[in-house]
Amino acid sequence: MTETKQRDVQVLPIAVDTLALRSRSWNRLRFEIEYALEKGTTANSYLIKADRTALIDPPGGSFTAIFLEELRSHIPLDQLDYIILGHVNPNRLETLQHLLSEAPQVTIVCSNPGAVAIQAAELSLQKPLMIVKSADDELDLGQDHRLQFMPEPTPRWPDGLSTYDTATCTLFTDKFFSAHICSEDAYDLNWADLLPDRRYYFDTVMAPNAKQVATALEKLSEVPAHLYGPGHGPMVSYGIHELTQQYQQWCAQQKQQTLSVALIYASAYGNTATIGQAIARGITKAGVAVESINAEQAPQGDIKTAAETCAGFIIGSPPHGGHAPP
């Protein structure tokens, strides 16, 4: 399948002083299992313009050129104060490097695992990182836009970070509550029709991390959000309570499975994690629970416990000089 439309960036105001910039890829063929429905996807970014300005979640490298062109039309890049990263991956780092070249004055806000990834990438940083270490960390942009940060680590994204704007009651959820679907609809007006796509996304991305996802849901429920700004797909407004309840139910279903498999992996560049994700999807479809464990982040005790209590385990490791890493 090939793209039927050119990639573009849809821009719209979603709250006071807040824009959504949705980089859209229409019906694009992707090889990761999470894109297998082939309905395209959006990479959602958000711009808050108060006394200070913040860009949340710039898109990956395939959108860099069209995204920056659109962003410049809404704010001179030398007036950008913060870039907030819900997660860090090589694709996003490509856009980030271009942003830093035009806006060296920005401060990057990320979790501690995200900071490790950025430092390893050796980006040209002019200002120190602002590293979020707990839910008590905040950032005041002025005009009542006080941003509260909630680390939400999972084995797949140990650097996961959500951001809540107290002025607009908008929760920017990164990977949570996303769906890989591209359309003209920026919101979930027909939220019930979107549930199959959201369930597929949950099964492929969230189900292997159900334990951590359930913990993150408890944190996210502590803020009175009226709007979810996810990383992919339509924003969640009309069905916000229903989708939150569905996530809770889907997590509970995973925990109730009588058989479980431990998926233990290390992934230097994300490729092993992608393969593991596809394997986990197949196991989940068979009615078996999967516990995904990132061996680089998990305590050894957790790995030992999972291996002892599961019905089986799968180990995935990237090659390092022809050999598995230590």
DSSP states of 210-255:
HHHHHHHHHHHTTS--SEEEESSSSBBSTTHHHHHHHHHHHHHHHH
Q: List, run by run, the mean pLDDT of 10-residue segments along the chain (326 residues).
A: 78 98 85 84 97 97 96 96 95 94 96 93 90 90 97 91 98 97 96 96 91 93 96 97 97 83 77 78 79 78 79 77 59
Residues in the chain, total? 326
Please give, one letter per residue, the 3-state secondary structure of 158-191: CCCEEEEECCCCEEEEECCCCCCCCCCCCECCCH
Cα–Cα distance measured from residue 226 to residue 136, given in angstroms and rounded to the nearest whole number: 21
- Is there a contact between 286 and 203 (Cβ–Cβ < 8 Å)? no
What are the C-alpha distances in Å from 263 to residues 208, 269, 271, 315? 8, 17, 15, 6
Confidence at residue 118, expressed as pLDDT on a 0 to 100 scale: 93
DSSP state of 204: I
Taking each helix axis as running N to C, give the angle between helix 240-255 and helix 210-220, from 0 to 180 degrees, rounded to the nearest 10.
150
Confidence at residue 4, expressed as pLDDT on a 0 to 100 scale: 67
List, in order, residues 6 or more apart from 296 with CB less than 8 Å away. 158, 266, 267
Going along the chain from its start, the domains and CATH numbers come out as 8-252 (3.60.15.10), 258-316 (3.40.50.360)
Q: Which amino acid is at 322?
A: G
Please choose, from the candidates 67, 75, 126, 74, the residue with its C-alpha nearest in 3D space to the C-alpha of residue 92.
67
Confidence at residue 326, expressed as pLDDT on a 0 to 100 scale: 57
